[in-house]
A and B are shown apart, each in its own frame.
Chain A
């Protein structure tokens, strides 16, 4: 049984496009990444799954049950961390967490205390006095304290310092090993690469690809940035698989896919001022997907 399944899920905000015909299936025990640029429809999809908003057409099920009809029931086993964390300003962290726990049919005290420790959270402070990072921590604790079977994370790491990010990733991996399914939206490729088994790529409200992370990385490009005294031409690298070639004022950038040894030997023949080889950012990987899409069409 798929934990999450959407069928032609579509949401328009009036005339504005949210998502169009989104078909997703997330299997039990998977860490599923949901990536795309801002405004692509990641949050819209997630908010529809939680019935915070209602689809214009199409349907979604979680644990095999319709998300609207059985909303309250399935949410007993969902933990959700929203992209923007907002809680009741006048409350103390402790009261907020207790309030959060009071919605679930089980005793969450023990797990709550563990999580507070892991996230290094001061529970006696008022919500209004917390920094964004600390609010995010509150969000993580309130989302995980009932040990949910499905964890939905919307851009979870923004606002967390690197150390806390690591704690958080460890936590998510632990939950996953205990059997939780993770659905995780991000626009940072590094995160997705580190955690996820599969990813869905969304752009302009449509899913353009669902792929294993391993395949995505294997097939992806490497970005070269070369500084030379004179401008280069794409023909200088003739025969190699090169994209997005730009050469201006002695700086040349391009994306390369293929045998790294070949391109390195070609570059070594140049009179270089500097050379940087970097992972392309997500946008650039998307570019290559769009091209593939166009080529297929």
Chain B
């Protein structure tokens, strides 16, 4: 059972960094969507240019022939970068919320209190998930607002929502990974030195998979779990990836608990 006081304490500890992340994500949306009207008016010409790009190049940067025909597909191009940023946020949060106590040597204080380690970790997990839900809620609603300001087209809200919600799933993946790394590794000196390379490594694996087109590799990286074209077409996610992600999250979290409970602090 999580404890309310730890939960509230953790929310307070990470409110400012979360606010900064939200601001960065929203700003990325603003900048990107604000250039959409230019493409919208010259959609036909742009599409011809894209079609003439070498196929390999298009694979690497993730451009499809559908890009620039609608705001949804235009948005999904940049959204990959927002996903990377969101992934870093979640990985950073997950690693920090668990490892900070031992780095700042506050574990002695916390663990000497009448509270079990399972409770401590559950409270932290719940606080982190709350912060990520807030991040996504604010990000998604702001992006809808920005789109309504810049686009003349009717937006397919459900598709848009489905695309943006993938960030939350991806963040849960990296949050769980952050928990795992922070509990398994004895001492983490710098959180950013762990979270940044890990998220980028997963991102580069996804690019590699774009190039070689091997489906087995795509199960390794959460950046491949959500194909935006598929979402635009089917209005749903690919179940096999969703299940893979869920299994990973559960396994990572269970392992984290096992390590955290047995760890010497």
Residues of A within 8 A of B (CB): 13, 50-54, 71-76, 78, 80, 82, 84, 86-90, 99-100, 102-105, 142
Contact = CB atoms under 8 A, between A and B. Distances in A.
B107 A103 contact: no
Given A73-B114, A75-B112, A99 B5 contact: yes
A73 B115 CA distance: 8
B104 A80 contact: no
B113 interface: yes
A100 B108 CA distance: 12
A88 B112 contact: no
Contacts of A72: 114-116, 119
16 contacts: A50-B112, A51-B111, A52-B107, A52-B111, A54-B262, A54-B264, A71-B116, A72-B116, A80-B108, A82-B109, A82-B112, A86-B105, A87-B109, A99-B9, A100-B109, A104-B114
Interface in B79-118: 104-109, 111-116
A89 B100 CA distance: 12
B260 to A, nearest CB: 13
A108 to B, nearest CB: 12
B264 A75 contact: no
A142 B110 CA distance: 11
A89 B9 contact: no
B265 interface: yes
B13 interface: yes
Interface in B29-44: none
A126 to B, nearest CB: 14
A226 to B, nearest CB: 46
A104 B114 CA distance: 7
Contact of A53 (B114, B116, B119, B264): B264
Chain B, interface SS category: loop
A213 B214 CA distance: 75
Given A52-B264, A52-B265, A72-B116, A103 B109 contact: no
A103 B108 contact: no
Contacts of B112: 50, 52, 75, 78, 80, 82
B108 A86 contact: yes
Contact of A52 (B104, B108, B116): B108
Interface string B247-265: 0000000000000001011
B161 to A, nearest CB: 36
A53 B9 CA distance: 24
B115 A103 contact: yes
Contacts of B5: 99, 102-103
B180 to A, nearest CB: 21
Contacts of B111: 50-52
B191 to A, nearest CB: 16
Contacts of B109: 82, 86-87, 100, 142
A95 to B, nearest CB: 9
A13 B5 CA distance: 33
Contact of B114 (A54, A82, A103, A142): A103
A74 B111 CA distance: 12
B98 to A, nearest CB: 15
Contact of B113 (A13, A84, A100): A100
The 5 closest A-B pairs by CB, nearest first: A86-B105, A75-B114, A102-B5, A53-B264, A103-B113
A221 B106 CA distance: 41
Nearest to A51: B111
A89 B3 CA distance: 22
Residue of B112, B113, B119 with most chain A CB atoms under a 10 A cut-off: B112
Nearest to A80: B112
A76 B113 CA distance: 7
Contacts of B104: 86, 88-89
B96 to A, nearest CB: 13
B48 to A, nearest CB: 55
A216 to B, nearest CB: 30
Nearest to A146: B114
Contacts of B13: 88, 90
A86 B5 CA distance: 19
A72 to B, nearest CB: 5
Nearest to B104: A86
A233 B112 CA distance: 55
Contacts of B116: 71-72
B246 to A, nearest CB: 31
Contacts of B265: 52-53
Contacts of B264: 13, 52-54
